Structure 1
């Protein structure tokens, strides 16, 4: 039975994380809305496809890679009261983050056009998407390093500062979007290009804020000159956790990109409807990610302290909140889908298709919440291999084969694609739950056998 103190602790961690995630999704939503109102289907498709490519790389290698490894090790070190190790893992995580982020940024800038062509972009979508990626590749460098810095803060239980940083980024982004996309105050209307410039500027300012916070409050007594004192063993340990976590995200994101390429085959209307539905659904699963962060942090700290029952309880509390919030979104998707879709675009064909997609998306919300939170709990406990295996099976053995059948053999529309994702998330949610419980029970039994 969860205590009031445990519930309060989870909410103190999760709510700022949820707020942070929602803020980032708000700016993505508003970006899509403004670009859609300015340039229609081509602009929505260009910015949507370019953003998918950029954030796929960022998520695979940083947000769900290096950051997960750093969070797990720092949280477990803090749980074990080993603050020296926490500092060492943090500094090595930042070092890795800078190296990886710089490499990704350069790669995106150089191969922007090639990536879009592989995705099936052509004509105006290709031209606009290329401009968007090249400009955004600069901002994403700062955003990825900031993500690692935020992961260290979350591992200590500080989710409020990343939320404040997100607030700053979002405020600047939205204001600059309005000015640059539509050409206010005598400036030329830049459309998709203006959206990219606004995002880049906001990300750089957010990064500066986090750096100043680290210097002002001496987080874990870190001094940035320690980044050059590299301990090979620490790097290897972080990579051992980060690599499976990266592969898990890669399994999911690359399969999602392949899915998007398949959906491009259905035409611009289907792609625009899918992109808008994905954007709306992203708002609903942000609470799931927020509570997953809380589960990762608390499971990590409790496993570090060898308090396995508490690790299980904290994760269960996180899951209950996530399921409750995301199930509420399911009801809204079923009852008022037209209000969501019409906020993005005026095209009647896209609206009709998008409404049906969003209604189907309501099925997967509670399963998605369970999968996210219990997957986060597994990673916090130091097991990143199992989530990778589960995600690989759900993405490559369930999602893609079924999607191929739906699109190319049965020749059904984009609405059927969303039934496929509902099946995928149902499998993933149930399986993550089962294997989290197995992992905690295994650790608990090991403690009993070893007597420690």
Structure 2
């Protein structure tokens, strides 16, 4: 009986998680393909320009939309549908898309107008600044469509539909990959545009994905009209969830961005090796995010139905599956690190390959702790608690990771491998705290939670 229940839960989680995992991997592959192809075309400088620009842009997208509003919309819509409050689910989804649309316009304008100033302020110089500026300005157009697509995807996930966002990501990748090859290297009669070609390909891909998601809105159990007055009670509820969730991503992403800026001070060799390793490792994060998204949706539905036991079982099963998948990636990074790094850089850049492989091997340590962080954070958000994950991430990033990065990387100029030892420590401490909090909220004091 217990085994049967576990298998049923696993099937439901996998049914939601696999499309979500696929979607996240496909979105990450945009960055991977751009980095891989411009690395083959222009070497270290191109990798640094694209990698640095992407870090800055996606940091703010994740804070404001992907891990802020979008996750909050998923959580609220899931709990409303679980409680059979369809009208509220519709109103909250509508409100979230309206607010996110305004934010998307502002972010696009800032990156389009001030891209050179932003990169210069962040420490980019010379050819990295010139190429990065061109890449960021073109990509900013696609970012608007990317952010609105992300908001609508959040609505679909809250309705237990993770397939539609997956199809949108697949369209984005097909368009991006095809145009990347043609525009970066000048194939099939197209001009050879290098970094600018990668930016154009990404932008066109984002527009195509947006148009597809727009065409699928009829599949939702309610209508998003973007009309009517703003319900300020609903606005407060959305903001109360979205702000801590966005701040949690900010606490992580801003420290990550500052860390990248410190690594840039170590020189082009260290930065390009680190950037390639980060790009490869980011693929392994996608299964974790997929299971975290399924936890937000399924835990949210169970909480809406007042079924705490079911919420607990969905969270535990999601956690187990995420640890198994990311544990597999840990072994891949440990034994095949050099082979993976070679895919992203010219074969004669042996120093970059050796250093990147060393970084990736250390990164294998943090895979399972990262899975724990992601899924338990998603479970708490499904319960409607976005403040606790924010506090945990704020402490671990600003009180552990950033001071150590500042001392060892910025002041002492230690090798870039220290970056990876520090992040492994931070993820492990964070995982231990999440386990403690999760047990308190889901087992010891569930009524109080």
TM-score range, shorter chain: over 0.9
1:221 aligns with 2:211: no
Matches within 5 A, 1:170-209: 170-209=173-212
Out of 410, 432, 441, the residue aligned to residue 430 of structure 1 is 432
Distance in 1, Cα, partners of 2:248 & 2:446: 26
Q: Which residue of 2 aligns with 1:390?
A: 392
1:131 aligns with 2:137: no
> Following TM superposition, by how much is the alpha carbon of 1:336 offset from its aligned partner in structure 2, in angstroms?
1.2
> Following TM superposition, by how much is the alpha carbon of 1:225 offset from its aligned partner in structure 2, in angstroms?
4.4
Distance in 2, Cα, partners of 1:129 & 1:22: 24
Partners of 2:141 and 2:203 within 8 A in 1: yes
Could you tell me the TM-score, scaled by structure 2's length?
A: 0.97
Partners of 2:299 and 2:311 within 8 A in 1: yes
Partners of 1:86 and 1:220 within 8 A in 2: no
Matches within 5 A, 1:284-323: 284-323=284-323
Distance in 2, Cα, partners of 1:322 & 1:225: 36
Distance in 2, Cα, partners of 1:425 & 1:241: 24
Q: Report the 3-state secondary structure (helix = DSSP H, G, I; strand = E; otherwise coil) of the residue aligned with 2:356.
A: helix
> Following TM superposition, by how much is the alpha carbon of 1:229 offset from its aligned partner in structure 2, in angstroms?
2.8
Partners of 2:95 and 2:226 within 8 A in 1: no
Q: Report the 3-state secondary structure (helix = DSSP H, G, I; strand = E; otherwise coil) of the residue aligned with 2:447.
A: helix
> Following TM superposition, by how much is the alpha carbon of 1:221 offset from its aligned partner in structure 2, in angstroms?
2.4
Matches within 5 A, 1:71-220: 71-214=74-217, 216-217=218-219, 219-220=220-221
Partners of 2:98 and 2:226 within 8 A in 1: no
Distance in 2, Cα, partners of 1:100 & 1:295: 27
> Following TM superposition, by how much is the alpha carbon of 1:443 offset from its aligned partner in structure 2, in angstroms?
6.5
Matches within 5 A, 1:322-333: 322-333=322-333
Distance in 1, Cα, partners of 2:234 & 2:134: 39
Distance in 1, Cα, partners of 2:269 & 2:18: 36
> Following TM superposition, by how much is the alpha carbon of 1:417 offset from its aligned partner in structure 2, in angstroms?
1.0
Partners of 1:308 and 1:443 within 8 A in 2: no
Q: Which residue of 2 aligns with 1:379?
A: 381
Distance in 1, Cα, partners of 2:55 & 2:137: 14
Partners of 2:9 and 2:314 within 8 A in 1: yes
Partners of 2:401 and 2:426 within 8 A in 1: yes
Q: Report the 3-state secondary structure (helix = DSSP H, G, I; strand = E; otherwise coil) of the residue aligned with 1:344.
A: coil
Distance in 2, Cα, partners of 1:102 & 1:421: 33
Deviations 1:144-168 (A, max 9, x none): 0110100111011100111011111
Q: Which residue of 2 aligns with 1:278?
A: 278
> Following TM superposition, by how much is the alpha carbon of 1:27 offset from its aligned partner in structure 2, in angstroms?
2.5
In structure 1, stretches of 5+ residues that fail to align are 448-452
Deviations 1:10-65 (A, max 9, x none): 01010110111111222221111100011111110000000011101100000011
Distance in 1, Cα, partners of 2:104 & 2:444: 36
Could you tell me the TM-score, scaled by structure 1's length?
A: 0.96
Partners of 1:277 and 1:357 within 8 A in 2: yes
- Say which is worse superposed, 2-11 or 82-91, in terms of deviation: 2-11
Distance in 2, Cα, partners of 1:137 & 1:302: 38
Q: Report the 3-state secondary structure (helix = DSSP H, G, I; strand = E; otherwise coil) of the residue aligned with 1:244.
A: helix
Q: Which residue of 2 aligns with 1:59?
A: 62
Deviations 1:171-226 (A, max 9, x none): 00000101111111222110110000000000011000011111x43x23214243
Partners of 2:180 and 2:201 within 8 A in 1: yes
Distance in 2, Cα, partners of 1:118 & 1:436: 40
Q: Which residue of 2 aligns with 1:239?
A: 239
1:16 aligns with 2:23: no
Q: Which residue of 2 aligns with 1:450?
A: none
Distance in 1, Cα, partners of 2:270 & 2:320: 34
Deviations 1:384-417 (A, max 9, x none): 0011111111111010111122124443100111
Distance in 2, Cα, partners of 1:280 & 1:408: 24
Distance in 2, Cα, partners of 1:444 & 1:395: 28
> Following TM superposition, by how much is the alpha carbon of 1:238 offset from its aligned partner in structure 2, in angstroms?
0.4
Q: Report the 3-state secondary structure (helix = DSSP H, G, I; strand = E; otherwise coil) of the residue aligned with 1:221.
A: coil
> Following TM superposition, by how much is the alpha carbon of 1:313 offset from its aligned partner in structure 2, in angstroms?
0.9
Partners of 2:50 and 2:132 within 8 A in 1: yes
Distance in 1, Cα, partners of 2:283 & 2:345: 17
In structure 2, stretches of 5+ residues that fail to align are none
Deviations 1:421-443 (A, max 9, x none): 00010011121222122222476
